[in-house]
Structure 1
Amino acid sequence: MTDFKDKTLLVTGAAGQFGRLAAAELLARGATKVVAGTRDPAQLADIAAQGVEVRRLDFDDAASLVTGFAGVDRALIISTVAPNRREQQTAAVAAAKAAGVSYLAYTSAPHARPNADAGGIADHYWTEQAIAASGLDFTLLRNHIYADMTLVGAGAALASGQLFDATEGGGRNYVTRADTARTAAGALLSASGRDIVDVTGPAPVTQAEVAALYTRLTGKPVARVGLTAEQLQAGLEAAGLPAFYAALLVAFDRDAAAGYHAITTDVVERYSGRKPQALVAFLEENKAALAQ
């Protein structure tokens, strides 16, 4: 692998959880010219104090894309969560190319495809296509579902004693947000050429196993309840989730049912230098959060 630590490295969406982790990893690994892009630079005063250049970068603002990518050698485009994210992200890719960026890392999703049943995952596919057509070098980081999401879903499951899903018993190779961010930073620092990789945890875990972990770690019985994709979509919307976001979650369940999430790779270790944390270890480490 090549060492790009002295190149100008941009992280978009740097005020988010993923972006902050990636920027911190770049600094920890010796990057000398880190640029943090965000819609609101005031949110990154702490990062600026560490010597990071903070720029306003809004994927819905063409002018900020021009100034945000100016002088950048390599960029990490962190996927957005918005109804128009396909347009946002393809605009960012075009701006990067126009600015002379030589390499893009992009946080995608497993089995990105344009099919109607892919939900928001289709946005990742079209972004991947735009990156591939750009002529730039790239690493498409197909991040599997965050282990962190099991903390988000734990409250309702522990309160009701039921964990609902539409995975049909398929496994998910949960990977922590921290591991994916360290992997993205590592790719930005060292990857070359053009590559598509799955970023996974160490082994797939079924929803029945997740329910059993909730039970073991809290002492509260939780049973896994299988639903159809349509039932899950309706339930998530009834619980107050916007339809767009609910569709993203349901699409992930559909893909787990199809086996697309049961892949295991060494990508985390390859780019971060450490083995991925297993879901059980993550939940044990965050046991206090399960009790809230």
Structure 2
Amino acid sequence: MSDTILVTGASGSLGGAVIRHLIDSEGVAPGRIIAVTRDASKLGALAEKGVTVRAGDFDDDASLAAAFAGAKTVLIVSTDAVGQPGTRLRQHRAAVSAALEAGASRIGYTSMFSPGPGNPVLFAPDHHGTEEAIRASGIPYSIFRNGWYMENLSMSLPATVASGQWFTSAGQGRTSHVQRDDLARAIAAGLAKPPADSATYTLSGPEAFTNAEIAAMAAEVLGKPIAVVDLTDEQLAEGMAAAGVPAPVVPLLVSFDAATRSGVLGTVTGDVESLTGRKPIALRAWMEANKAAIGG
């Protein structure tokens, strides 16, 4: 298994899509792929295709060591422990150590735009610390700084469409939303055809829009009016609390708008197309294809 590609979070949406594109888009033989998740019983369909399926828990060093054994390229898909300060970074560092112990020749990691100091997103330090740990390992790396998922709009827009109002503190800041499947395709390409040295990719959508522009676009696609209500961060937090948003979640959601306002989420690059040979889907096209999901 000298040329194996291991993907963590294989039962999740992004990890599963990366594996699918490794096989379908990049022609990687299933026998070269190791799929890792906490509960390996969830990966039966991959096992039937010939993918090696292993259980690995980011909170159990011994299980990670066993899961990573023999892997040459390791993709660490960032965990979902965003509401537990310190947990996510500890988990990621454990995965980097396991890759080092396994003798991996490359580490891949799913990061975010501009994760360094100055990024208002509350979990940005987790990504920054993980990137630092990967660089410190001395192993060549491929860091994929993923843009904001278009699918995030499926969680926020339905309530906005239903009320006809979008409360935001993002101001004139822009977001270059990108479809998760386009990210997965790009990551798979980067893993299947790695550069000779280390590389950092910034994976964005083809264009960045303000929330007002996104609201207008959604209104046109759905045929329903949406008014944007500009607030301060403090007003937005108060409104969320009054609407029943759990207290620990409010600061995180507000930090997203603060990051948008600061310009952190508006970067546009051609890295997706460079890796895959095809342009990522445009936001309006995605909306039109997902009307039901966004409130249509």
Task: Identify whether the pair has TM-score above 0.5, normalized to the shorter chain.
Answer: yes
The equivalent of 1:173 in structure 2 is 176
Unpaired segments of 5 or more residues in structure 1?
none
Aligned-pair CA distance for 1:244: 5.2
SS at 2:96 equivalent: helix
Residue from 268, 285, 293 that aligns with 1:289: 293
Q: Which amino acid aligns with 2:43?
A: L
The 3-state SS of whatever aligns with 1:68 is: helix
Tell me the secondary structure at the aligned position of residue 104 of structure 1: strand
Contact 1:121 1:251 in 2 (8 A): no
Partner amino acid, structure 1, of 2:216: A
- Which of 122, 132, 137 pairs up with 1:134? 137
Once the two structures are superposed, the pairs formed by residues 59-74 of structure 1 within 5 Å of their partners are 59-74=58-73
* Alignment-derived partner of residue 58 in structure 1: 57
Checking the alignment, whether the CA contact within 8 Å between 2:171 and 2:261 is kept in structure 1 is: yes
Give me the whole-angstrom Cα distance separating, in 1, the residues matched to 2:17 and 2:119. Answer: 33
C-alpha distance in 1, partners of 2:52/2:284? 37
- Where do residues 1-292 of structure 1 align in structure 2 (5 Å cutoff)? 7-28=3-24, 29-32=26-29, 33-82=32-81, 83=84, 84-114=87-117, 117-192=120-195, 193-236=197-240, 239=243, 241-243=245-247, 245-291=249-295
- AA of the residue aligned to 2:211: Q
Determine the C-alpha separation between the residues in 2 that align with 1:222 and 1:135: 50
Note if contact 1:120-1:251 (Cα within 8 Å) is conserved in structure 2. no
Pairwise CA RMSD of aligned residues? 2.0
Shift of 1:22: 0.4
Q: Identity rate of aligned residues, in percent?
A: 41
- Equivalent residue of 1:105, what SS? strand
1:191 Cα offset (Å): 2.0
Task: State the 1:268 CA deviation.
Answer: 0.6
Which stretch of the first structure deviates more once superposed, 187-196 or 121-130? 187-196
Deviation at 1:238, TM superposition (A): 5.0
- SS of aligned partner of 2:17: helix
Q: Return the TM-score normalized by structure 1.
A: 0.92
User: 1:290 Cα deviation (Å)?
Assistant: 2.9
Instruction: Check whether the contact 1:163–1:224 (CA below 8 A) recurs between aligned residues.
Output: yes
- For the residues of structure 1 that align with 2:119 and 2:146, how far apart are their CA atoms? 21
Question: Any stretches of 5+ residues in structure 2 without a counterpart?
Answer: none
Q: Distance in 2 between matches of 1:218 and 1:116?
A: 33
In 2, distance between residues paired with 1:283 and 1:221? Answer: 15
Q: Aligned pairs, how many?
A: 288
User: Shift of the alpha carbon at 1:63?
Assistant: 1.1
Closer, same or farther in 2 for the Cα pair 1:56/1:138, shift >3 Å?
same
Structure 2: distance between partners of 1:36 and 1:204: 34
Q: Where has structure 1 moved over 6 Å in runs of 4 or more?
A: none
Q: CA deviation at 1:118?
A: 4.0
Amino acid at match of 1:272: T
Relative to structure 1, is the Cα distance of residues 132 and 80 closer, same or farther in structure 2, using a 3 angstrom cutoff? same
